Structure 1
Amino acid sequence: MLNPLSLVSPRSLRAALRDRLTFRAKLAAAFTALFFCAGAALLIFVTVLARQGTMEQFASITMDHPGGPTGPQPTSSATAGPTSPDPTGSTGLRQQAEDARLARMEVTNRLKETAVRQMVMWSAVGLAVMAVLSGAMGWWLAGRALRPVRKVILAARRMSEDNLHERLQLTGPQDELRELGDTYDTMLDRLERSFTSQRRFVANASHELRTPLAAQRTSIEVGLADPLPAHLIPVREDLLTTNREAEHLIAALLLLARSDRGLDETKDTDLAELTRQAADELSSLAAEHTVVTAVHTTPLAVNGDPVLLKHLASNLVRNAIQYNHPQGTVTVRIDDARRLTVTNTGPRVDPTRVDSLFEPFRRLDRDRTAVHGHGLGLSIVRSIATAHGGTVTAAPGPAGGLRIEVRLPTTR
């Protein structure tokens, strides 16, 4: 049976390992490898020089003292006493001296080899210990060096249109990391100005359009007042309906711009009571669509803007009624888990399109010219929930329709 690892080339394994390592780990490994290579080169250099120097010193000592420090010593005539000529005595002494010298050389060589081995062994142990310590030190230094980069990463992760005012404001020398932080702050400045300009434009344009639309409606009602020819009555109704839709769209844009700006003033309010009021006000719309609305609530205290919170509940219920089928149902529930849940029946929803429904001017119907709804309801819901520190999630129902859940915190 083939080993799967045998089918992978060493180059591929190295590439896979390199891709899995973080930059901090790569930097620490580079520090360790650099220290180890430098230490190994130094160890080899010192060992070679020490070995060569020891041999030269030993040769020099041998040449200067052929007999060695413990070699045969000349005997004094006063102490040696009378000797008789011995042709073999001097030869025996010389042989003993040579044997002693060779023995001392062998001992010295062994001592030298032992000293070199001990030096190499303990130097290698020291090199290994220092390599480990240098790796730990490299890891720590890499962490300190990359700390500003980590701040940039964390800031980028939590960046959204609601906290564009936050800045890194890195301190320290004018190096590459400081330049990176300053560039990031400059980018946030441009984004904040762009978002602020966009919100201001939407709010101002919506506000300026309300007056001409109101004047247009008045002109239609006065100019086409009764009595009218029969063929102009439908024209007047169409004009008034279009005018009302335009006014509703402008009001929705103003509401969206207001919620995007955040909360100016907050107070404790009961979301359950606001939800019941919104459902009661939409009862006529539910009857028009032959939809049954059921509300089950428990008190839910929320610190926020009551007007915006009521619009949140109203948009959820209105959306559930409008995008429903005849004889359908809408269930509104507030439970002890601080969840506002609105579930409706209706056409099946593609799960891949659920998130896009929270974008402005998106509808379940692909036709943008649909006469019911302006495609801002769920966008307003998410904007209001975000302004109150909450979240909105949606999921398609098993038999059709949507289940939208809003979670709001107790305090801000």
Structure 2
Amino acid sequence: MRLNPRTLLGRLPFRARLAAAISALFLLAGMALLAFVVLLARYGTAQQVQGIAVEHGNVSTYGDVPTSPEHSSGRTGLAGPQPARGRADGDMALIRKIDWTVQAVQAVQDTVLRQLVLWSAVGLLVMALLVGLLGWWLAGRALRPVTSMTEAARRISEQNLHQRLALTGPDDELQRLADTFDTMLERLEKSFESQRRFIANASHELRTPLAVQRASLQVGLADPLPEGLAEVREDLLTANREAEQLVNALLLLARSDRGLEETVDVDVAATAETVTAELAAQAAIECVDIGLTAKAPRPVLGDPLLLRHLLTNLIGNAVRYNRPGGHVRVRVEDRTVTVTNTGPLVSAEQIPALFEPFRRLAQDRTGTTGHGLGLSIADSIAKAHNARLTAEPGEDGGFHITLRFP
């Protein structure tokens, strides 16, 4: 498998990438400076060597016999052949000496340049490493406000939205980011407070009229009743109970969406046993066999009331949407709860829609039983507990629902 360097670099923390960028920038600048110095040094020494050759090599030749400037001035009558030959030998020795000097200087130049490049490269690598470590330290100091903002944001939840980052310092990008985050927290606090007031008011304003209506029906239409009114009374009471259940379900959904206020260790196996026992009568009416198996259960951190509603909705739906002679199997193992039932065949494409409010297997929202809120409430409570709720169709119909707590 071929690894992409850009992908590997993207996996590094921002602090490491910033330190690596500083080191790479220093290394490139150092290499450019080293190349510039070496080229100028080579050019300068070459010019100096050429100057030495010109200065000390001012000897001309005539034919095969080198002559000095005195020979070329025209004064040749007084000198014999022996002195001229001696001067020529001296000029040749001088030329050879100059050539040797030039070669020696060239050798020294090459050696110096090689040593310069070698030790400069070693020093450059060492300095790049030191600059990388210094860049790591500087990046940590520069990102310290961001780290403190991240830790503060993690501490802030629904219960302490009144807290603010309150970052102090100059008016820079980090300060403006912290101010923006504080403004967002202020808006969230107002929104959550408004939702709390709405739920509290709705709990009173919606439940009270329904309770008064139910009491009026029971008192005003008490026995004995004229013929035909008894059936009307039962219909009105049934509609009243369904409306109250709907209001309670909507309020429970709103409460679970708000998150958890207080959490304790909850024995999920004991809660499932209680819920199964409560639904046994309904299962008997529906001719459904219900059973519970607990294997090495472990407590989970959550809200006991919401978890009880969660299991009630899951197991209750498994009993309600079943067939005569069918069964419901509840299994609690470790921190996982599975609910399996028999029932009508369900396609995998229909399952995601069942977790939406007011959605059921029927084609419309008006069915004979239920309001289509059971699974949506269960999913909301599961998310509030950081749990995962999944469902898949059974081979012979029904569902296989799995609830996994962290």
Q: 2: CA distance between counterparts of 1:357 and 1:148?
A: 45
The number of residue pairs the alignment matches comes to: 378
Q: 2: CA distance between counterparts of 1:122 and 1:301?
A: 65
Letter in 2 for 1:35: F
Give the corresponding residue for 2:29: 38
The structure 2 residue matched to 1:325, chosen from 323, 326, 329, is 323
Per mean C-alpha deviation after superposition, the further-off stretch among 341-350 and 182-191 is 182-191
What CA deviation, in whole Å up to 9, does each residue of 1:52-107 have, x standing for no partner? 4434555666777779xxxxxxxxxxxxxxxx995233443343233323322332
Give the corresponding residue for 1:240: 237
Give the corresponding residue for 2:280: 283
The structure 2 residue matched to 1:375, chosen from 353, 358, 372, is 372
Q: Secondary structure at the match of 2:316?
A: helix
Q: Secondary structure at the match of 2:343?
A: coil
- 1:198 to 1:347, Cα distance in 2 relative to 1, 3 A: farther
Q: Secondary structure at the match of 2:362?
A: coil
Q: 2: CA distance between counterparts of 1:126 and 1:265?
A: 59
Using the TM superposition, give the Cα deviation of residue 191 of structure 1 relative to its aligned residue in structure 2, in angstroms.
3.1
Alignment of 1:128-143 (within 5 A): 130=127
- 1:49 and 2:40 correspond: yes
Q: 2: CA distance between counterparts of 1:91 and 1:274?
A: 120
Give the corresponding residue for 1:218: 215
What CA deviation, in whole Å up to 9, does each residue of 1:186-235 have, x standing for no partner? 33442343244224313421321111111222333444455556555544
- 1:275 to 1:90, Cα distance in 2 relative to 1, 3 A: closer
- 1:387 to 1:21, Cα distance in 2 relative to 1, 3 A: closer
Letter in 2 for 1:212: P
- 1:403 and 2:394 correspond: no
- 1:347 to 1:149, Cα distance in 2 relative to 1, 3 A: farther
Using the TM superposition, give the Cα deviation of residue 285 of structure 1 relative to its aligned residue in structure 2, in angstroms.
2.1
Root-mean-square deviation over aligned CA pairs:
4.5
Q: 2: CA distance between counterparts of 1:356 and 1:110?
A: 85
Q: 1: CA distance between counterparts of 2:244 and 2:186?
A: 34
Q: 1: CA distance between counterparts of 2:324 and 2:153?
A: 47
Per mean C-alpha deviation after superposition, the further-off stretch among 123-132 and 391-400 is 123-132
Alignment of 1:56-75 (within 5 A): 56-58=47-49
Give the corresponding residue for 2:290: 293
Per mean C-alpha deviation after superposition, the further-off stretch among 102-111 and 188-197 is 188-197
Q: Secondary structure at the match of 2:331?
A: strand
Per mean C-alpha deviation after superposition, the further-off stretch among 245-254 and 400-409 is 400-409
Q: 2: CA distance between counterparts of 1:408 and 1:101?
A: 91
Per mean C-alpha deviation after superposition, the further-off stretch among 27-36 and 152-161 is 152-161
TM-score, normalised by the number of residues in structure 2: 0.72
Using the TM superposition, give the Cα deviation of residue 117 of structure 1 relative to its aligned residue in structure 2, in angstroms.
3.8
- 1:397 to 1:154, Cα distance in 2 relative to 1, 3 A: farther
Q: Secondary structure at the match of 1:351?
A: coil
Using the TM superposition, give the Cα deviation of residue 348 of structure 1 relative to its aligned residue in structure 2, in angstroms.
3.0
TM-score, normalised by the number of residues in structure 1: 0.71
Alignment of 1:236-315 (within 5 A): 236-258=233-255, 260=258, 262-264=260-262, 266=264, 271-297=268-294, 302=299, 306-315=304-313
Give the corresponding residue for 1:78: none
Letter in 1 for 2:343: G
Give the corresponding residue for 1:106: 103
Alignment of 1:118-157 (within 5 A): 118-124=115-121, 126-127=123-124, 130=127, 145=142
What CA deviation, in whole Å up to 9, does each residue of 1:97-151 have, x standing for no partner? 3332332233223322332343244434544565566567657766765676678
- 1:386 to 1:178, Cα distance in 2 relative to 1, 3 A: same
- 1:111 to 1:334, Cα distance in 2 relative to 1, 3 A: closer
Q: 2: CA distance between counterparts of 1:155 and 1:366?
A: 48
Give the corresponding residue for 2:360: 363
Q: 2: CA distance between counterparts of 1:301 and 1:91?
A: 110
Give the corresponding residue for 2:197: 200
- 1:204 to 1:375, Cα distance in 2 relative to 1, 3 A: farther
Kept in 2: contact 1:207–1:254 (CA 8 A): no
Q: Secondary structure at the match of 1:334?
A: strand
Using the TM superposition, give the Cα deviation of residue 331 of structure 1 relative to its aligned residue in structure 2, in angstroms.
1.6
Q: What's the % identity of the aligned pairs?
A: 54
Q: 1: CA distance between counterparts of 2:145 and 2:353?
A: 35
- 1:203 to 1:249, Cα distance in 2 relative to 1, 3 A: farther
- 1:400 to 1:253, Cα distance in 2 relative to 1, 3 A: same
Kept in 2: contact 1:265–1:304 (CA 8 A): yes
Per mean C-alpha deviation after superposition, the further-off stretch among 95-104 and 314-323 is 95-104
- 1:283 to 1:48, Cα distance in 2 relative to 1, 3 A: closer
Give the corresponding residue for 1:95: 92
Per mean C-alpha deviation after superposition, the further-off stretch among 290-299 and 383-392 is 383-392
- 1:105 to 1:270, Cα distance in 2 relative to 1, 3 A: closer
Kept in 1: contact 2:56–2:98 (CA 8 A): no
Q: Secondary structure at the match of 2:401?
A: strand
What CA deviation, in whole Å up to 9, does each residue of 1:322-350 have, x standing for no partner? 12223221122334x24333221112334
- 1:376 to 1:185, Cα distance in 2 relative to 1, 3 A: farther
Q: 2: CA distance between counterparts of 1:330 and 1:146?
A: 55
Q: Which runs of 5+ in 2 are unaligned?
A: 59-79
Q: 1: CA distance between counterparts of 2:120 and 2:315?
A: 79
- 1:212 to 1:173, Cα distance in 2 relative to 1, 3 A: same
Kept in 2: contact 1:338–1:407 (CA 8 A): yes
Letter in 2 for 1:325: R
Give the corresponding residue for 1:74: none
- 1:187 and 2:188 correspond: no
Q: 2: CA distance between counterparts of 1:319 and 1:325?
A: 12
